[in-house]
A and B are shown apart, each in its own frame.
Chain A
Amino acid sequence: MYPVWKLCWSNLKNKKVQNAFMAIIIMLSALLLSTAVLVINNTNRVYEDMHTKVNGAHQILRFENGIHDPYKVNQWWAQQEGVTTSEVMRYRYLSSMVHEGEEIPNVDLFMMDTPNMPFTVDKLLFVQGEDRQDPEPGTAWIPTSLAYSNNIQVGDQIEFKTDKQTFQLLVAGVVVDISYCSPFATSGRIWMNDQDYTTHLSTLQGNDKYMTEMRFDDYSQNRAYWGNFEKFLGTPFLESVKDFESISSYYMIANQVISFIMIFIAIVMISIALYTLGFTISDAIISSYKTIGIIKSVGLSSRKIIAGYVTQYTLIAFISVVPGILISYYFSNKIVSSSMAYLNTSSSNMNIHFSGIEIWIGFAVITVIALSALLFSYKAHSVKPAQAVRYGMSEKDSSKLSRRLDTGKSKLLQFGRLPIEFLIGLRGVRKNIRGSLLIILISALSTSVLVFGFMFIFSITSIHQTIAKWGYDSSDLSIRIDNPDKITYEQLHGEVLSDNRVKNFSLYGDANAVLPISKEHAADSDGDSMGILLTVADGNYDEIGYENVKGHNPIKDNEITIGVNVARKFNINVGDPLDIYIEGEKYTLTVTGIYQAIANMSNTGRITAEAVRKVNPKFGASLNTIFINLQDGVSVNQFVNEMHKKYGNALWTASQASLVDEVFSQAVTILILPMSLMALLFIAVTFIIIYSICRINMKKQSRTYGIYKSIGMTSQQIRLSITAEILVVSCIGAVIGIPFGLLGLPPLLNFVLMDYGIVEVPLIMNGVGIIGMILLSILIACLGSWFASRVVKSASPRILTVE
């Protein structure tokens, strides 16, 4: 065993820089891999712990159209074995709220008449404020998501607007309300005192709506319950159901995207590390051909030499994997606690848990490294000392090389055609095929990752441009009539909509619908129905700027378009007929288009107001939002400000741009930091690898550089020739990497986001940025080689030729 250690130790000692770099790369890949796994695991765990702790709901039924009797339904569920139900809770919708004089737009507020505590399902956890039976009159409890994102504290006053009046409530509690406080959510439950609810909300137009929540002992059995439930009802359930998957998905989405990218990059890095390792080992074998020959001649078997290499790299892997995994706890803790902040209470356990998977990851990385070391060092078997002395490589390799140098005698590479720096550089590419291939691979990867990463971040930050492809409208602004007593639609039409700056407008509202699952799909889903949210427009969908992945927007009164996830679940295509219950009435419509939307994970549909009116001629009250496009050249902001001044509280007006910011600023903040960090890591790794490849190469070539120097080449010229070699190679890599980054990686992202309702992530190609990234990756490569060639500068020809 001693000779193995001796060999391993001398390898470790003599190539400190290379070994250190290898260690860094292995550490980074272990770090990323382990962070990704920890983030996914712990996001799930934190969420599930919390869900169990508060007895979280699996399904939430909302009764908004008076089709079913909420109390009877609730009673039925309460009688079922293995199901816990909440009380029936009254509520009304409001869609905006004012805090410290600032309007918080674009929220769906469920104004809840708080039933008596303790809750059986979805218990509230107090982060701030006093845990009481119910909120005192004049006060309300609000969810953490609303409080944190708008900086609302206990003791602050919040103001609500109804059709009739505005009223204020004091925030007395900030609560974790697990079903309604996820990131990116635009809805939240405001828990009010019964008395306040009765005075301010019950008196409003329309009827109270009702909500009841169910928790199953075994959620996987819910289909069976639903079968019985619909038998009990005698019809499908025709009001809306929100289920566990959609409740939990928003907690997961950001972390899933980040983790996916991390795993991808980690795998790429490990592959690079392995390839570099192979390169390093076979190079070490070649450059110590003579030594190996001598070692062999003194009686050390090849097996021991191989064991020396394997030990060396296993040691390096072990030394780097352990800190990598340890550091990953810190990173994943940061990521999880920031994305799960809304669930954080003083008593909740947000700390990252250690799991056996970590040990497996570490073990797997070490094994992979050790096995590759074994594979690559197998070459040592065939070293013949005599050949080593003459060629510095095996005879086979030598003749292969001279054949390549021979056949590669292109005109271009003849002396006198190119400046000598370039000529030598190009010849270096031809000679050093293995190293060149490695650099091509690395710069291709770094180009593709940088180009793709840039494109992704750029697309998210300039989402305004592609907003229709994320399922939102792309009109200039929207107006909502909040107080019809002060201004009616007719007035608005006369005063605003006929303004000659307005190009076109459409009325917009939503409606709940239910899709019964037909017999052919019942096999795997036990006869169920699915609630979807319908967008209803009185006007022109094309003008509002809605887009489809396939087909066209609904125009006629029998047409509908559906979200991709509805289409997938029901296996519907463009042209198919669709049975749908809208507010309790049955319609048969034709699907004219399929679209993607991140909102509600594409579990939605779009129809025209005429379609609804065919069965329900009075339909129209819910169409209280108006999308407006202005004439070209009219300033949207100015128009919006004018509206604010003129109508104040009676109208709610916001430009599309500000609404988009509202929704996506969170996504941007959550994504940008980890993405930029990973880009930096990638840049660092690319630099490190190219630097070390160049160092390896230069060691081999140092004699040649010494000769160049002694016949009068300047060190600048020599370094230029080395950099020219890398420039050529990394440009080739970039050329290969560009299409991969632009076309190869986006489908992977589509795959991740498919469940969230986006099948084709709308990426924006920004030419300048993409070219910038390409140049960046080439620059990194050139810098790596330029830095690696520093030794040429100071060393004298004697040192270079002798050592």
Chain B
Amino acid sequence: MITANSKKTVMIEAVDLCKSYSTGSEQFHAAKNVNLELYKGDFTVIMGSSGSGKSTLLYLLSGLDSLSSGKVYFKGQQIDGYSEKEITDFRSNKIGYVYQSINLIPDFSLFENVAFPGYVAGRGKNEINMRTTNLLKMMDIELQADRLPSQVSGGQQQRAAIARALINSPEVIFADEPTGALSQEQGTIILDILTEINHKAQSIVMVTHDIKAACRADRLILVKDGQIDGILELSKYSPEDMKARENQIFLFMSGKG
């Protein structure tokens, strides 16, 4: 097993991370003592069976949910200790989040949905309009720009949600099954876009069920019952050699049962 690569800088670090949900009288532990480092510029993929705690982990790492115990660091700063101003600044400028359930604002048009975080971050109108237009074009939904989310397909919504996460050029993009609602080709296009962004030094943390999608990653983190079940370094296999990566992942997964 290959452990942390000392040449890379740590971007996000989780220490003894725990999260429990209360279901009536009982507590359900969806993350148990997770210790994890994510590196700057990495394309990290999180895999695991349904209900294993992937989304939970993503929420915790991105500062969108409160921890039960433990610590999360972003570039050495403890984000669970952030003040309201610091955490909002962090959410607005440092990260982009693509929800598993898409979550577009129903009464904003696609264009407005994508542009809105730009305004929250305090960017200028012209800059926002330009960025938004480019992103919509990149996602191939510029024709639907003025429609409401309920008036477009699920895949189009998902692409808008990704565009929204990109608008402020965040350092890390968290994406919870961003290709879940997309067809094979559309999924590939999105993955290509994510890969390209990744090459521009933006870090990506993506949850997926799809081994093909996982092949894009530098590292694969396997989650089981709220714990890290194993980490696979993929960067040593050439990105061109998809077959090799697929085999490795397959072996790794089946080795874990």
Contacts and interface: CB of A to CB of B under 8 A. Distances in A.
Interface of A: 390-391, 398, 401-402, 405, 415-416, 420, 427, 431, 703-704, 706-717, 796-799, 801-802
Given A391-B150, A402-B150, A798-B59, A713 B64 contact: no
**Chain A CB within 10 Å, residue with most, of B88, B104, B148:** B88
B92 interface: yes
A704 B97 CA distance: 14
B69 interface: no
B136 to A, nearest CB: 15
A707 B125 contact: no
B151 to A, nearest CB: 7
B117 interface: yes
Interface in B48-67: 59, 64-66
Interface string B61-102: 000111000000000000000001100111111000101010
Given A707-B105, A714-B88, A420 B99 contact: no
Interface of B is mostly: helix
B: interface residue count bin: 20 to 34
Given A391-B150, A707-B103, A712-B93, A797 B65 contact: yes
A708 B105 CA distance: 9
A711 B103 contact: no
Contacts of A402: 148, 150-151
Given A402-B150, A796-B66, A798-B59, A712 B116 contact: no
A798 B99 CA distance: 10
28 contacts: A391-B150, A398-B150, A401-B107, A402-B148, A405-B107, A405-B148, A415-B112, A415-B115, A415-B119, A415-B125, A416-B128, A427-B107, A431-B107, A704-B105, A706-B103, A710-B64, A711-B91, A711-B92, A711-B97, A712-B88, A712-B89, A712-B93, A712-B120, A715-B84, A717-B120, A797-B65, A798-B59, A798-B65
Interface string B206-247: 000000000000000000000000000000000000000000
B11 to A, nearest CB: 18
Contacts of B105: 704, 707-708
Nearest to B66: A796
User: Which 8 pairs show the lowest CB-CB distances between chains A and B?
Assistant: A712-B92, A416-B125, A712-B91, A711-B117, A798-B65, A797-B64, A796-B65, A714-B88
B66 A712 contact: no
A711 B164 contact: yes
B119 to A, nearest CB: 5
Nearest to A705: B105
Nearest to A423: B119
A695 to B, nearest CB: 19
Contacts of A415: 112, 115-116, 119, 125, 128
Given A710-B64, A712-B93, A713-B88, 14 more contacts: A391-B150, A415-B119, A415-B128, A416-B125, A420-B116, A704-B106, A710-B97, A711-B92, A711-B117, A712-B88, A712-B92, A716-B84, A796-B59, A797-B65
Most-contacted residue by chain B among A391, A402, A716 (CB, 10 A): A402
A142 to B, nearest CB: 72
Interface string B101-145: 101111100001001110111000100100000000000000000
B54 to A, nearest CB: 13
B120 A420 contact: yes
A646 B66 CA distance: 85
Contacts of A416: 119, 125, 128
A704 B65 CA distance: 16
A712 B150 contact: no
B116 A711 contact: yes
Contact of A703 (B88, B93, B103, B164): B103
Contacts of A716: 84
A801 B117 contact: no
Nearest to A797: B64
A316 B157 CA distance: 43
A656 B90 CA distance: 72
Contacts of B119: 415-416, 420
Contacts of A715: 84
A801 B107 contact: no
A402 to B, nearest CB: 6
Contact of B101 (A390, A401, A709, A801): A801
Residue from the set A431, A706, A801 with the largest chain B CB neighbour count within 10 Å: A801
